[in-house]
Amino acid sequence: MAETRENTTVVIVGAGVAGLTLGNFLLRNGIDCVIVERRSRAYVEKRQRAGTIDARGVRMFREWGLGAVVEQDASPDIESGFWIDGVRHPMDLGEDARESIFCPQQVLVRNLTDTFLQGGGDLRFEAADVTLEGLRGERPTVRHRQADGSTLAVSCDFIAGCDGYRGVTRASVPAGALTRYSQEYRYSWLSVLAEVPANPSGMAIHSRGLAGMLPRGAHASRIYLQCPADEPLEQWPDERVWSELEARFATTVPTGPIVDKQLVPLRCVVHDPMSHGKLYLLGDAAHIVSPMSAKGIHLALHDAEVFARAVIEQARTGDTGLLDSYSETCLRHVWNYQAYAAWITEVMHNAGDASYEGEFRKRIARAELERQFTSPAASRLFFELSEGVN
Ligand SMILES: Cc1cc2nc3c(=O)[nH]c(=O)nc-3n(C[C@H](O)[C@H](O)[C@H](O)COP(=O)(O)OP(=O)(O)OC[C@H]3O[C@@H](n4cnc5c(N)ncnc54)[C@H](O)[C@@H]3O)c2cc1C
């Protein structure tokens, strides 16, 4: 089958949050780029994950003239709380936290896709068998098989690996070139998507384990239930989901159709450096943050902004300084957030089911949480940690 050859400045592998944000930033600044995405447009725009864009992300989109991607279709945030053994504790995280916008991830992805395509962007869905070549050369190439079976080979100045944790870009780096740092927890989250309003809305700490019920629009919720890391999905029939949720929140919960159920292992991973030759890794391709922190989107957006500024600077002035320091800049930020994620993950889980870390750690974790609810200074520190303080 024939091979077509093309040239561009940046090939972006993956049309998730990181890839689409980067693509839009580059397009707006006159930098040529091509996005290649393995899945169909319909699939990508239906994939439900996160629900809220934090204050930094909202400010970033506004600064780049793209505020509409988070503002249009955004629903008002539903007030969430913390339940400890059935008692609700309100927590005010301050003015900045109130600037975050409730915008489900699939809505952000759809809006970013529309904006990119309306701006004349080049986005190839259903790009099969993506391979990378010449990462350490002058002009690397990204190849993929198109729907008609022909191959498209795009040569470029830089490749942005935005293809998530299991993508092809990081896997193309020779063994030993990156160091993987990771922390695995002995528990997972059963992650459930249900067509019921989030009521109650928030996180619950209970000796049976952590639970969460968070809004995904007015009529849908994401439910999380802590469970042992090795527990198979078959042990979670729908009835058990609802009865565990009620037990952990110690209140009645409305039931409804469950549309998705998966086990999410709790882990934190960082790859260092976040680049290799002309390949730059962004978002989940470079790092995974514990879902307890809800900061995966934040980190993906941060990487996209740092990399976009570096490419734009290089194109305008020839100065490669920001590209050279890309990995270092992002890793400093990533480790700050890993510190927050590790802390919040341990406190929230240790405060409940004592079978992992014991009764002593449970009491310490509860004392730490108590401080968040009673001390404005501690609550401010919690917020600053959640915002990275760097
Ligand atoms: C169930 C769940 C709930 C979550 N909840 C939250 C939350 O509440 N808050 C939060 O901040 N984060 C949350 N996250 C994490 C968040 O979704 C990720 O951190 C975020 O999606 C990372 O964005 P990304 O662009 O790096 O990767 P992705 O969004 O995963 O995008 C990667 C893209 O690359 C494509 N791709 C993969 N392989 C290839 C290939 N070989 N060739 C071409 N394309 C490829 C994929 O199809 C995908 O479109 C959650 C994750 C999950 C799984």
CA 113 to chain centroid, in Å, comes to: 17
DSSP state of 148: T
Going from N- to C-terminal start, the domains of the chain cover 3-72+98-180+268-339, 183-266+352-386
Cα 293 to Cα 356: distance, rounded to the nearest angstrom: 20
Q: What is the pLDDT of residue 390?
A: 37
Ligand 1 atom, smallest distance to 283 CA: 26
Q: Is the pLDDT of residue 4 over 50?
A: yes
Candidate of 35, 130, 284, 302 to mutate for ligand 1, largest count of ligand atoms within 8 Å of Cβ? 284
Q: What is the mean predicted confidence (pLDDT) over 233-252?
A: 96
Residue 109 three-state SS = helix
Q: Measuring from atom 2 of ligand 1, which residue has the nearest CA? A: 49
Q: What is the pLDDT of residue 100?
A: 83
Distance (Å) from CA 47 to ligand 1 centroid:
9
How many C-beta atoms surround the C-beta of residue 41 within 10 A? 16
Mean predicted lDDT score pLDDT of the chain: 92
By C-alpha distance, which of 108, 174, 172, 140 is closest to 34? 140
- Reply yes or no on whether the pLDDT at 374 is more than 80: no
pLDDT score recorded for residue 219: 87
User: With 70 as the cut, is the pLDDT of residue 96 above it?
Assistant: no
Q: What percent of the chain has pLDDT over 70?
A: 92
Is the C-beta atom of 297 inside 6 A of ligand 1?
Answer: yes
> How many CB atoms sit inside 10 A of residue 382's CB?
23
Cα separation, 357 vs 346, in Å, equals 9
Q: Which residues share a beta bridge with 205?
A: 84
Q: For residue 209, what pLDDT band results from cuts at 50, 70 and 90?
A: very high
Q: Which of 83, 103, 25, 85 is nearest to 311 (CA)?
A: 25
Is 193 in a helix, a strand, or coil? strand
The architecture (CATH level 2) of 3-72+98-180+268-339 comes to 3-Layer(bba) Sandwich (3.50)
Residue 101 has a pLDDT of: 87
Give residue 21's pLDDT. 98
The pLDDT value given to residue 357: 93
Class of domain 183-266+352-386: alpha beta
Query: What pLDDT was estimated at residue 389?
Result: 42
Beta carbons within 10 angstroms of residue 179's beta carbon: 9
Band (pLDDT 50/70/90 cuts) for residue 216 is: confident
Tell me which residue of 119, 143, 139, 115 sits closest to 130, measured CA to CA.
143
Nearest protein Cα to ligand 1, atom 8: 50
Binning pLDDT at 50, 70 and 90, where does residue 258 land? very high
Higher pLDDT, 216 or 256: 256
Report the percentage of the chain scoring pLDDT > 90. 79
Q: What is the pLDDT of residues 160-179, one digit of tens each?
A: 999 999 999 999 999 999 99
Q: Kindly tell me if the per-residue pLDDT of 193 is higher than 80.
A: yes
Residue 289: how many CA atoms within 13 Å on its side-chain side?
Answer: 25
Which of 98-107, 237-246, 336-345 shows the lowest mean pLDDT across its residues?
98-107
Of 103-107, 181-185, 253-257, 295-299, where does mean pLDDT reach its minimum? Answer: 103-107
What pLDDT score does 78 carry?
59
For residue 162, report the distance from its CA to the centre of ligand 1, in Å.
Answer: 9
First-to-last alpha carbon distance for the chain, in angstroms, is: 51
Separation of alpha carbons 192 and 222, rounded Å: 6
DSSP-assigned letter for residue 353? -
Q: Is the CB of 169 under 6 A from ligand 1?
A: no
**In sequence order, what E strands does the chain have?**
3-7, 10-13, 33-36, 52-53, 81-84, 87-89, 101-102, 122-124, 128-133, 141-145, 151-155, 158-161, 179-194, 202-205, 211-215, 221-228, 258-272, 275-276, 279-281, 287-288
Ligand 1 centroid to Cα of residue 266, in Å, is 15
CB-hemisphere CA count at 13 Å for 130? 26
Owner of token pair 């307890």: 292
* pLDDT on residue 380: 59
Which numbered atom of ligand 1 lies nearest the CA of 163? Answer: 34
pLDDT value at residue 50: 80
Q: Is the pLDDT of residue 304 over 80?
A: yes
Assign 387 a pLDDT band (cuts: 50, 70, 90).
low
Residue 386 has pLDDT above 60, yes or no: no
